[in-house]
Amino acid sequence: MRISSNASTAPPLVAPVTAPPAASPVLAPLVAVAGAFTLAQLVLVPPGMGLGWDESVYVSQVSPHAPAAFFSAPRARGVPLLVAPVAMWSSSTELLRFYLAVLSGAGLYLGLRVWHGLFPLRVLALAGALFATLWVTLFYGPQAMPNYWVAIGALVTTGCFLQAKAQVKVEVKAKAVTPYSLRHTTLRGVAAGTALMAWMRPTDAVWVSLPLLLLLVGARGWRQPRLAAAMAAGLGTGAGAWVIEAYARYGGLVRRLDDASRVQGGLGWHIAVDDQLRSLVGRTLCRPCTGELPHVAIYAWWFALPVLAAVGAAVAVRARRRTPTLVLLACATTAALPYLFFIGYAAPRFLLPAYALLAIPLADGLLGLVTGPGGAWRPVAGTLVALALVAHLGVQYSVLQRTVDRTSASHRDWDRVATDLRRLGVRPPCLLTGDHAIPIAFYAGCASAAVRGNNANITRGGILRTAERVPVAALVAADGAPPEYARSWPAHEVAGFRLHVAPRGH
């Protein structure tokens, strides 16, 4: 229904803004934030860092450099599609990192851009800066991993969802014109955002979208068939592909869901809040997540999130943007819920969608603290907020630097092992089994295999038959025991590992 511009009409969902409908130079702050984010990735996360374990699985699906690694049940095909434009023709990690850094900067801009008109520009710029300066955002932005892209999809979906409900009044040359509807554009944005999430991680897409779906179904004034259809179309593309693959490769949907739960340690009631705290020190995968909690300075910002979210909600009520703020907080809560209470381990990247959604109300709250108090209290509040942000940035940079150094060192070890494999005659076509077989095999251009565990894809007999045709090696930790089938194979010490190479024609 068309909304009249008459002054007696009920207040709109959000406060009207005055901006031309076309791209405008007033969005330069968002461009600056996105550009700085891209540059920071290239400077602080070396493009030559090498691919991690999960990255090698995703990239191997489309790269001609090595055979595709085993693709376990929880994974989805979004990341291989994302990296395909580069990985299909180049094996350069540096080029792939540069491509992903630029793409992630563009994604951040678009994720913030769709909120223009729902929040002031200064709030969006600060929100982007807060999200982009988290060590986990900088670390995973240029990586071939799904979580950052779920975060961008979450921003696009929620922003376009609310824009589709709003009518924006535009003034051109100080003369009011008939309000125009963003509905057609934003419906496509809702579909695209949900599709991005679903292609990357279908279950995350459902959790993020849950409050929006509940609004469409149960809230008066929110029941719009076209909006529901856009969300269904977006979710259906990614989740539908995952379901089809379940029947084509995993023995059906129920079997794939069971396998996915097993790979993740059995989904159910698990309080993983303390695990997430331990991972904030830079533990990219905290499984098992044991040991002491890090110094309080590492995770103090984490406990400030709900406080600042409450302040942001209070500011939003006064500024007549309560609805978008509450939607953001609801979606952030459901995005975080499974990783705080339903999984038995932690990885800081799991919470990236929640951090992205929280960033906007947090920025609103921080600016409210700085600009709200009057008189002598305003400079005091501004000083305290500035000092807190400087300390926060120092902590984030420190954790990022240690994480990059540690990760780069481990990836260099993998590269040395791959070099030694070639020196010992294990060259493509070849097969590698054992500890860290998946990433090292990708580095060496070999196939990888396992007879047990989450990535089991071959039998003992299959390995021995393969050894009759191509070079085969088993990799074990220096203090570990080789598998039974490789005990008689000659052993070699390589970069902290022991490599058992099958004799030719074995």
In a domain, 145, yes or no: yes
In a domain, 397, yes or no: no
In a domain, 375, yes or no: no
Measure the CA–CA gap between 1 and 200, rounded to whole angstroms: 35
Range of the domain at 242: 25-265
Q: Would you state the structure tokens that stand for residue 484, as one six-digit string?
A: 């039974």
Measure the CA–CA gap between 41 and 378, rounded to whole angstroms: 34
Domain boundary among 265, 291, 311: 265
Decide if 132 contacts 106 (C-beta within 8 A).
Answer: no
- pLDDT tens figures, 245-298: 999 999 999 999 999 999 888 888 889 999 999 999 999 999 888 889 999 999
Whether the predicted pLDDT of 24 surpasses 80: no
In a domain, 238, yes or no: yes
Peptide bond into 429 cis (omega under 30): yes
Query: How many domains is the chain partitioned into structurally?
Result: 2
The DSSP letter of residue 52 is -
In a domain, 224, yes or no: yes
Domain boundary among 233, 265, 297: 265
Decide if 215 contacts 222 (C-beta within 8 A).
Answer: yes
User: What does 130-154 look like in DSSP terms, one character per residue?
Assistant: HHHTSHHHHHHTTSS-SHHHHHHHH
Instruction: Using alpha carbons, select from 281, 317, 319, 274 the residue that is nearest to residue 298.
Output: 281
From the CB of residue 260, how many other CB atoms can be counted at a distance below 10 Å? 18
Consecutive H or E run containing 431 = strand 431-434
Domain boundary among 199, 232, 265: 265
The phi and psi torsions of 22 (rounded to 5 degrees) equal -80, 170
pLDDT given for residue 356 in this prediction: 98
pLDDT given for residue 25 in this prediction: 42
- pLDDT tens figures, 152-172: 999 999 999 999 887 433 333
In a domain, 188, yes or no: yes
174 confidence band (pLDDT: 50, 70, 90): very low
Instruction: Using alpha carbons, select from 53, 255, 242 the residue that is nearest to residue 145.
Output: 53
Q: What is the pTM of this model?
A: 0.91
In a domain, 144, yes or no: yes
Burial class of 380 by CB neighbour count within 10 A (0 to 12, 13 to 18, 19+):
exposed
From the CB of residue 409, how many other CB atoms can be counted at a distance below 10 Å? 9
Q: Would you state the structure tokens that stand for residue 221, as one six-digit string?
A: 């004034």
